[in-house]
Amino acid sequence: MKKWPLYFALLFSTSAAVYAQKLPILRSVLKNEIGIKHLPPVDKSACANCPPGMSCDGPCCMYPTGETIGQLNYIIDNKCDAIKNLHLRFEVTKEWTAEYDELTKDCNPSQITQKLNTTEGIVIQFNCTSKDAPQALIQYLIYVQGNSIFPHMQYAGGTPDKVDHDWPAGASSWDNMTVSKANSLAKGWVLEVELTTDDKGYVTGAKFTATEPNGKRHSADAPKSSMYPIRITEIQTNIVSTNGHYVHYAAGGEGTLSYSSTDELCVEGGNYTHCAAALGLPSWATCETSNASYAPLSSCCTKAGDSFKQTVSVK
């Protein structure tokens, strides 16, 4: 299998894609004759009317939340329609440090084959799928490796035109910006990806932004030549490593993930067919994982323009 630069990409085989089958048990989505729709909100007093196995989460029905750690995080969508003008944000609220990496067998963190004395650092992966590029895991990435920090855009698995549209890691130096402590983000760092779309939801621009704790802001726009015309169907954020590694983060790290769009955003069900599978797309998951844990998200959809906020921490 081809090894993607600085990143062990998408897993399609039955044996290797085991984690694609272990998504957390989240809010249900139900199949109907035209596809998928989310459960409507229910009044809290109507908990008895939630389907079997579900309970009330405020005004909405939800399934119990399973494990959300490493490469297992919530999947977010716009009821399986294109997500327009998506804005993704990670703010560090307590120092976040990568200590060392481990190698695993078949991307399984319970099967460690070797502990390394080094680390590939911190990689914020905003992973997306699209019916316009059914074999691709579209990744908007921000790396912290050593004292360097840089953006990267990758279509792991490839696009239908079989042209490499990746924006190479390190293509922008962000004004030679560095972090003071190797493989670490101090409290106050903010990393963002902002996607611009047209009226039909096709992504037309991707802006990467990093704001230092002192407020100094750096931004880089992915070049048009490195973009493939796609509509984002669903997203999943993973704070992990690269090259298929398991990264061990120092205990105490904390941050906040935020997701917003000009459309509403909804949390998908992990125990039910999600949008990618419903559209006939292959199961997808990132091979990299970590000991970062993600907090629950509400089972209620946001209103257009509002945000989902999710804490992430290392115990």
> pLDDT tens, position by position, for the chain (315 residues)?
333 433 333 333 322 333 333 444 333 332 222 233 444 554 545 555 666 666 676 667 665 666 789 998 888 888 889 999 999 999 999 999 999 999 988 888 788 899 999 999 999 999 999 989 988 999 999 999 999 999 999 999 899 999 999 998 666 667 778 999 999 999 999 999 999 999 999 999 999 999 999 999 999 999 988 899 999 999 999 999 999 999 999 999 999 999 999 999 988 754 445 677 766 666 667 899 999 999 988 777 888 888 899 999 999
Q: Virtual CA dihedral for 99, 21, 85, 209, nearest 10 degrees?
A: 10
Residues 253, 57: Cα–Cα separation, whole Å: 28
Handedness of CA 125, 126, 131, 132 (dihedral sign): negative
Which has the closest alpha carbon to 253: 178, 312, 188?
Answer: 312
Single pTM value for the model? 0.82
Residues 132, 33: Cα–Cα separation, whole Å: 22
pLDDT score of 106: 83
